[in-house]
Copies of this chain bind each other. A is one copy, B any other.
Amino acid sequence: MGNVILHKSISLDGYVTGPDVSMEHPLGRGGEALHAWMFGSPAPVDREVTAWTTASAGAVVCGRRTFELGLPHWEDTPYPAPTFVLTSTERPPLPARSASFTFVTDVVAAVKQAVAAAGDRDVVVMGAETGQAVLRAGLLDQVQLNLVPLVLGGGTRLFDGVSAALEQEFSISSPAVTHVRYRVTYPR
C-alpha cells in the first residue's frame, strides 16, 4: 500500500496561492510563481521530483474548487490516475482522457476509495482545504513541500488553524527550490 500524500508548492509565508483567487487567476495574484520551478527548463532535481510524483500517483483526491478551477487548464485528470473529487452533492462519474473523475461527498469515503484504486501506489491529495480535511480525519501519511523563495503577503494558507507533528523524511534542493518530505505523526 502506498501513502496518502499532500504535495504542495508553498511560499516562505505559508501560502499556496497568491491573493484574489479567481477563475482567471486560479493561483491568485503572483501565485503562478509558486509553480515556475516545474516549467520552462527545470533543474534536473526538479524534473525528477515532478517525474516521481507523476509515477507514484495511483489515485488523486481533490476538492470541488481544484476540480472546477483546474479542469479547464488540464483538460484531463490532474495526474493520469483515477481522481476522487469531494463534492457536496452526488453526481455521476466524468470520464476524462487518462482516467475518470468520481464524485464523493465524504472525505473518509473519498480517501478509502482512492487508496483502493491506487493499489501499491500513492494517493496524491490536492488543494489546501482538502489537505486540511484529510489531515483532520487522521488519514494523511505524508506531506511534501516544495519551498519556493517568495513571500506572497496573502492568499490561501496550506495549514490554517490545524496543528500537527511531523518527522522530516528527506530534503533535497535545486538552485530554485527546496523539496522536503515529511511523515505526519499525529498526536495520538
Residues of chain A touching chain B, judged by Cβ–Cβ distance below 8 Å, are 10, 12-14, 30, 143, 145, 147, 149-154, 157-168, 170-171, 173, 175-178, 180, 182
Contacts and interface: CB of A to CB of B under 8 A. Distances in A.
Nearest to A132: B151
A168 B177 contact: yes
10 contacts: A13-B158, A13-B159, A149-B166, A149-B167, A151-B159, A151-B164, A151-B165, A154-B163, A168-B175, A171-B178
Contacts of A163: 30, 151-154
Contact of A161 (B14, B153, B178): B153
Contact of A12 (B145, B161, B178): B145
Contacts of A143: 12
Given A12-B14, A12-B143, A154-B161, A149 B171 contact: no
Contacts of A13: 14, 157-160
A143 B11 CA distance: 14
Given A12-B166, A151-B162, A151-B165, 9 more contacts: A30-B163, A149-B182, A150-B166, A151-B159, A151-B163, A168-B177, A171-B173, A171-B178, A173-B180
Copies in the complex: 2
A143 B145 CA distance: 19
A7 to B, nearest CB: 14
A143 B152 CA distance: 15
A152 B162 CA distance: 7
A165 B167 CA distance: 29
Contacts of A166: 12, 149-151
A159 B163 CA distance: 19
Contacts of A30: 163
Task: Name the residue in A13, A145, A150 with the highest tally of chain B Cβ atoms < 10 Å from its Cβ.
Answer: A13
